[in-house]
Amino acid sequence: MINVLLSLPFVFIVSLGFSIVLYLVGAVISPKNKKTKGKLAPYACGEELPPQKFQVNVRSFFLYVTFFMIFDISAFLLAMSFSVHGPYPAIFGAVIILALVWLLMTWRREKKRA
């Protein structure tokens, strides 16, 4: 019983429950007014902005995301390998640095082509 009470999923479910209760309280005590067209339109400062979905330019993210992934994995490797003796952390580190060098070379080639 105590194990269940002091587990992360239980705490997460209870906090989700608290947020849902607050949301429902808000739904009960907030006024329900008539929904006009202007009220439901997307926010704009005086311009006419029709509601439409936008494409996020993923290409500009790509390089950052790749670096992010490499560094995140290397950070966790660092975290996990502090008690390991032997060459394994160094080998993993070398693989990561190789991947970084390869990525930089590809990036420069792409830049030349563009």
Nearer to other proteins, 15 or 106 (CB): 15
Q: Does 34 bind other proteins (CB under 8 A)?
A: no
Piece of 35-43, 90-98, 99-107 that binds other proteins (CB under 8 A): 35-43
Instruction: State the Cα–Cα distance between residues 80 and 29, nearest whole angstrom.
Output: 50
Alpha carbons within 13 angstroms on the beta-carbon side of residue 99 total: 15
Q: Residue ranges of the alpha helices (H) in the chain?
A: 2-5, 8-29, 37-40, 58-80, 88-113
Distances, alpha carbon 102 to alpha carbons 57, 80, 107, in Å: 24, 25, 9
Interaction between residue 114 and other proteins (CB under 8 A): no
Residue 72 one-letter amino acid? D
CB 99 within 8 A of CB 68: no
Q: Give the residue with the Cβ less far from other proteins, 7 or 106.
A: 7
42 binds other proteins (CB under 8 A): yes
Q: How far is the CB of 50 from other proteins (least distance, A)?
A: 9
Token digits of residue 113: 């082509």
Residues that bind other proteins in the complex, under the rule CB under 8 A: 1-2, 5-8, 11-12, 14-16, 18-20, 22-23, 25-27, 29-33, 35, 39-45, 49, 51-54, 56, 61, 64-65, 67-68, 71-72, 75-76, 78-79, 82-83
